[in-house]
Chain A
Amino acid sequence: GNSVTQMEGPVTLSEEAFLTINCTYTATGYPSLFWYVQYPGEGLQLLLKATKADDKGSNKGFEATYRKETTSFHLEKGSVQVSDSAVYFCALSDPGGYNKLIFGAGTRLAVHP
């Protein structure tokens, strides 16, 4: 079945460090791919998305490229801030369903000053 695998956390970085959170997926058909973020005490917020191969989603300095050949959608940011501390979820939109999202396990990011 369709699934998403994320790198395990927590990821601990110093402010201004480079961030990569790996995400790979398994899907039949052509899913859309998403990164959601959950700040402490808050709900899930869409960070970025890509709907077809080679698309790059970007927002707030984060970016991810839909790589069909490697079935990946890795999240990157060039210089993280303390305010980026949160849990990041990679997800795919099941192409066989009614826009159903399948989530990865989430990766907790902690950024220290």
Chain B
Amino acid sequence: EPEVTQTPSHQVTQMGQEVILRCVPISNHLYFYWYRQILGQKVEFLVSFYNNEISEKSEIFDDQFSVERPDGSNFTLKIRSTKLEDSAMYFCASSERGFTGNTIYFGEGSWLTVV
């Protein structure tokens, strides 16, 4: 079964450093997402991306965050200058369509620890 893959599975970084989390969405999907889950808290929406541009973003997704689809297969989340509170599990996801109810498939997550 096709799946969303994410790398790295775990990264430890110093506060203030830049981090890039990578994702390969399911190949025929057109809509891409990042979510995050701080330990013990809810899974929260960060951003959705379609046709090479952001379609929606949350209040969390401030100027420190950016997303990119650098080629036909990868989708990346960059955190420019990490803070302690960015420590979380980051989930990449994709869906074939963007309408309400279309199934969103998640990767296994990238656990980011900022020290």
Contact = CB atoms under 8 A, between A and B. Distances in A.
A101 B98 CA distance: 11
A89 B101 contact: no
Nearest to A3: B42
A49 B31 contact: no
A94 B48 CA distance: 13
A49 B109 contact: no
Contacts of A30: 100
Contact of B101 (A36, A49, A103): A49
B108 interface: yes
A102 B91 CA distance: 14
Most B C-beta atoms less than 10 A away, residue of A42, A91, A100:
A100
Q: How extensive is the interface on chain B, given as a class? A: 20 to 34
Q: How extensive is the interface on chain A, given as a class? A: 20 to 34
B31 A44 contact: no
B25 interface: no
A6 to B, nearest CB: 10
Interface of B: 4, 31, 33, 35, 41-45, 48, 50, 55-56, 91, 93, 95, 97-109
Interface of A: 30-32, 36, 42-46, 49, 51, 89, 91, 93-95, 97-106
Given A43-B106, A44-B106, 5 more contacts: A36-B106, A46-B104, A98-B50, A98-B98, A106-B42
